Structure 1
């Protein structure tokens, strides 16, 4: 029973990461027609709406937003507002494959943040070794794209934005995990995306105005795909965060630079693999295999824990 559940959870994590991997190409194509912040706001407002039918009732996200406003706001600020504003701004400044590499920092960031914020999620030797190996692979691939080229400063700032988003998102992961099933995962995901989409559109308003609507069909296809990715992958991830330790679950995120880079190389003109990037891919795969070969450890305690900043509720 435990083994079959482990396989099921692993397949769900892989599926979510494969969905996220396709976002780099769709995001680059959508950014040709819409500025980063209006695109991010439109994506998550639509994603939140798409999830409402799966929340048990139409009012579930809005009731959750009213009862647990601080919790939903914190998760939204970490998981949607900051992560995806930096994601789309950074993606506009770097190549698709390069963006996928920097998102690969996520597992290391999550393990380090979980180690500092969660008493029962300490870094084990096997996990640490697999993360170091995987991150070495990510470094190989990132260096193969020559990030410090004549475009230098702009590209470097884009990399820093993507890197900062990985660490801020890791804090959001811990906030979700600390609830340990206390909130309905799909309702939470829908509520935080709706709130995050509205916040992003409000932030964009003085800089970009309202999102443009007279755009080609290809843009709306990419927008719908991006929204479906968010609605599906985040719902899966929030569900898994209540059942698997943060550091162990996020090892699967090494698939994002792996698959995201391959998809970018295949579909974005001018992007192609090099020998260092292929060596990096191999290190990433080995890191995942080592990290997932240890004994499965589910989340141990069902008790409800307080979330920083929400203790008064």
Structure 2
């Protein structure tokens, strides 16, 4: 059981490390193309990247036809709606506020797991640990604050809250209903379908160009984002399907995404450097994760 908890922790941290890297690449990509088109191409490529790593692909495709409704539902929730709302919402709010709203996702995951799963009930201790983690995210975000009040902020806040609801629901559904589906199969097929739907939606909404040749940095950022999604989402789906892994506990590891993101900015960007608020926020998040880990080990014992 200790090895199981350790491997789950290591994989969750690795997935969150991958998710902390795309922000610069997203900014580069959006300089050249529209949000929904860019997201659609990204996830379509991610799904295609996974295909060669699926054993007995023809057989898996035949078997998956029996559960096409479930795959379609996951594709819409975890790719089309989730990232469509994400890319749209962040365009209406300042980056710091967006980071805080997205950082609240573990709380939404815990709430939805409480009502949708029988083995993942909230406790006051777990709620305290999650709220502590959210406070840490807020502190880091305030340290990098760029608040400018605009009339579009309420719309952006509503979209990002809906994004949290969609993401949490998708996590619960994968954990509850995908026990018999290999994670690579579910991740690949759902991202191919979800990405294709995003691309189709972008045509009437954004009227994007499909023939323009962009600079090399655009294609490099797109390739990196596609690989990040392919690996991270496959790992996450696999963890959600593991027996004994709770949605609420697993999602608390997403609190380390801003820690990794800030650290990478300090290492890569010349104008970025550590500040007191960010360090305090990281310490608060560390306390939250240690407390959740303590609660998990106590339950196991």
Q: TM-score normalized by structure 2?
A: 0.89
Is 1:32 matched up with 2:31?
yes
Contact 1:25 1:96 in 2 (8 A): no
CA distance in 2, matches of 1:105, 1:267: 26
CA gap 1:8/1:29 in 2 versus in 1, 3 angstroms? same
> 1:68 offset after TM fit, Å?
1.2
CA distance in 1, matches of 2:174, 2:7: 21
Contact 1:102 1:142 in 2 (8 A): no
Contact 2:42 2:195 in 1 (8 A): yes
Instruction: Please identify which structure carries the higher helix content.
Output: 2
Partner deviation per Cα, 1:9-32 (whole Å, 9 max, x = no partner): 110000000000111121112111
CA distance in 2, matches of 1:211, 1:59: 31
Contact 2:183 2:237 in 1 (8 A): yes
Is 1:278 matched up with 2:279?
yes
Report the secondary structure of 1:46's partner residue: helix
1:8-157 equivalence runs, <5 A: 8-59=7-58, 62-63=61-62, 65-93=64-92, 99-146=98-145, 148-150=147-149, 152-154=150-152, 157=155
CA distance in 2, matches of 1:130, 1:64: 41
The answer to which of 46-55 and 202-211 deviates more is 202-211
CA distance in 2, matches of 1:98, 1:22: 19
Partner deviation per Cα, 1:5-60 (whole Å, 9 max, x = no partner): 21111100000000001111211121111110000000000000001112213336
Q: Structure 2: where are the runs of 5+ without partners? A: none
Contact 2:34 2:208 in 1 (8 A): no
CA distance in 1, matches of 2:270, 2:66: 48
Corresponding residue for 1:294? 295
Contact 1:100 1:261 in 2 (8 A): no
> 1:155 offset after TM fit, Å?
5.0
The answer to which of 106-115 and 139-148 deviates more is 139-148
Q: TM-score normalized by structure 1?
A: 0.85
The answer to which of 52-61 and 126-135 deviates more is 52-61
CA distance in 2, matches of 1:229, 1:95: 24
CA distance in 2, matches of 1:49, 1:4: 32
CA gap 1:130/1:275 in 2 versus in 1, 3 angstroms? same
The size of the alignment, in residue pairs, is: 297
Partner deviation per Cα, 1:106-138 (whole Å, 9 max, x = no partner): 211111110111111101333222101111112
Contact 1:16 1:236 in 2 (8 A): yes
Aligned CA RMSD, in angstroms, stands at 2.6
CA gap 1:56/1:210 in 2 versus in 1, 3 angstroms? farther
Report the secondary structure of 1:68's partner residue: helix
Corresponding residue for 1:311? none
The answer to which of 67-76 and 56-65 deviates more is 56-65
1:243-254 equivalence runs, <5 A: 243=242, 244-254=245-255
CA distance in 2, matches of 1:270, 1:177: 41
